[in-house]
A and B are shown apart, each in its own frame.
Chain A
């Protein structure tokens, strides 16, 4: 019966291809959603991950950078800088706002750096130079591609104009593009003189991040101290948690859709081959084998769709940002494997109605004309 199942499925190639493509589409939707959230989440933590100081110091009760606001009194930096474990402290101001460039408005995170300070600045430049003084900005190269704004052009943050002097690499995601300006400029915009958002603290050699963090907690009150790994985990966790509900719902919806397509394909095949199946029954074919053949067909169709989706996910999805640079997409093997399990489940669910049709088939159909 399994040979029959295989052969009859492949005898209708166009239908098989159509079904598989439909199922693949449903799985691709989910994998794409996963890739969007994973890509955005990874990009969201790009800045703290690349800066990678031993510890980050921020406002008490704040444990994130993304979508957070943090203020620390500036004297706390001097206290930390004076600690024997500390090699270096780099302050930044940081806020999220709308920026205007060439008529486009975009959401962005703006990092204010001390003049001449590159420790907390862009880690890779694709064009131009880093900021040297007030009124200058470095923007993500992808942002430049999207908006058409280039080196020498002007962009606006609130009512302050900035001249673009450089394009950075690795600093763009649609939820979290990072723009660099001077700390003084940002303090003007925020009216936040005497305040920093985050302190990047590098330890002296031989001092571990954990030791440094404990030292700072003992020394300075009303601050939160996190290692880079902890801050990155918090931000990544936040981004993924924001997406987990939607991803779950999309997975459910698209899996149901895939199950319907599988069910329809299997049902059509059974309906078309009713007479053959009736003949098999009349000849003594067992119910288990008949149902098994239907399930096998459903599994084959679902798996074909899944494999097509996987190929698409691995080959095409990573290329999408070339055409749509606003998107950061990361395809995870874990998500793909999870989708495989879903595909099997989809196959079994999709086979229910066709299997019941097979069980109800009257062997006398074999005699009908």
Chain B
């Protein structure tokens, strides 16, 4: 019956193409939605791993990196560096700001770094070489038409674009400045009575000696400096992803569910329309001696074949959409190449094909073979 279903699909190629395209479009929407959610999680992981630290020190009680406010006393660095196995504790500060230009607002996550933790790669420009330099994510460059040497004002303080990178997470493009730049910014903005006591430090990126055992050093730091918590990059990334999941899951879960319902409607509709138009054929098949199970198999086979046509087409459409979305808005990462995303969509698609095939089965069962005697 798969053979018959295949021949049926080949008979009206335009209709089959339109149908496969419609189902593929639904698959693409689902892949993109799912990929969008996974992309958010991948971005969060990437942000942490790009800092290239062996361990990351946060304020005690803070278990996240992005969107978590961590504040460490400035003397913490010395205390951490005194622990055996620690080569260096590189400072890092997180400064969420809102960038405004030409009436357009964008939240930007500014990371202040010193000797480690800067942009993992540069798409353009030499990077930070002096105090007022700033490296910005390509989203900002694209959105505001910024290039090398252009002004970038943060809190009324002027930086100069010295590099373009690819780093964004949680709907925010990232930017990187040096501590010289940050101090100048704070001094000019008159934000605090005494910068030496003001919480300028968010994290410490710990670099270990090659022979140091990570777990041992982690425990040692926590013991020596009780006002901090210490995590591996993987642990911190996992926390951030968990936190993001509580935010995204309700919305994305609902959207993906609606998309699957649409998919089922489309498949069911297509098959129903097709079966209705072929009732006569089913009546003839019954008259020729084919049993109900043969007809069911034919309908299910057609649905599965349609889905098998639609899945790779949907994956291709999703890829095209992904490329388009990421080129227009590089702040988003749409991660459709995740094995989990693909597998889930593939399995769900096949299940959908079978469920969708149930829609017209009642019509098939009720088809009276006597229809074969009626005029065409």
Cβ distance A311 to chain B, nearest Cβ, rounded Å: 15
The residues of A that contact B255 with a CB separation of less than 8 Å are 29, 32-33
Q: Which of B98-106, B208-216, B344-352 contacts A (4 or more CB under 8 A)?
A: B98-106
Give which listed residue, A22, A28, A238, contacts B266 with CB less than 8 A. Answer: A22
Q: B269 in the interface, Cβ–Cβ < 8 Å?
A: yes
Minimum CB–CB distance for A94 against chain B, Å: 11
Contact of A61 among B22, B154, B172, B359 (CB under 8 A): B154
In the complex, whether B12 has a CB less than 8 A from a CB of chain A is: yes
CB <8 Å contact, A241 and B106: yes
A164 interfacial by beta-carbon distance below 8 Å: no
Interface size on B, residues (CB 8 A): 81
The yes or no answer to B1 lying at the interface (CB within 8 A) is no
Residues in B149-174 with C-beta less than 8 Å from chain A: 153-157, 171-172
B-contact bits for A160-179, CB 8 A (1 contact / 0 none) = 10000000000000110000
Q: Is B21's beta carbon under 8 Å from chain A? A: yes
B197:A191 contact, CB within 8 angstroms: yes
* A157 to B69 Cα, complex, angstroms: 10
Q: A349 on the interface (CB 8 Å rule)?
A: no
- Whether the pair A15, B251 counts as a contact (CB closer than 8 A) is no
Residue A59 interfacial (CB < 8 Å): yes
Of the 9-residue stretches B238-246, B282-290, B335-343, which lies at the interface with chain A?
Answer: B238-246
Inter-subunit contact A241/B61 (CB<8 Å): no
When distances are taken between beta carbons in the complex, the residues of chain A under 8 Å from B277 are 268, 271-272
Query: A157 and B61: CB pair below 8 A?
Result: yes
Once A33-B255, A98-B63 are accepted as A-B contacts, the answer to whether A194 and B276 lie under 8 Å apart by CB is: no
Q: Which residue of B lies closest to A15 (CB)?
A: B273
- A313-343: CB near B (< 8 Å → 1, else 0) gives 0000000100010110000000000000000
Which residues of A lie under 8 Å from residue B305 when comparing CB positions?
A: none
Asked if B32 is an interface residue, CB under 8 A from chain A, the answer is yes
21 contacts between A and B (CB under 8 A): A15-B272, A59-B189, A60-B189, A67-B98, A68-B96, A68-B98, A97-B67, A97-B68, A105-B64, A158-B59, A158-B62, A190-B69, A195-B198, A222-B156, A241-B105, A253-B25, A257-B29, A260-B25, A265-B273, A267-B15, A268-B273
On A, residues with C-beta under 8 Å from B are 12, 14-15, 18-19, 21-22, 25-26, 28-29, 32-33, 36, 59-64, 67-69, 71-75, 95-98, 104-107, 156-160, 174-175, 189-195, 221-222, 224, 234, 237-238, 241-242, 245-246, 249, 253-254, 256-257, 260-261, 263-265, 267-268, 271-272, 320, 324, 326-327, 353, 357, 369
Q: Which 5 A-B pairs have the closest CB atoms?
A: A159-B61, A61-B155, A61-B156, A25-B262, A18-B269
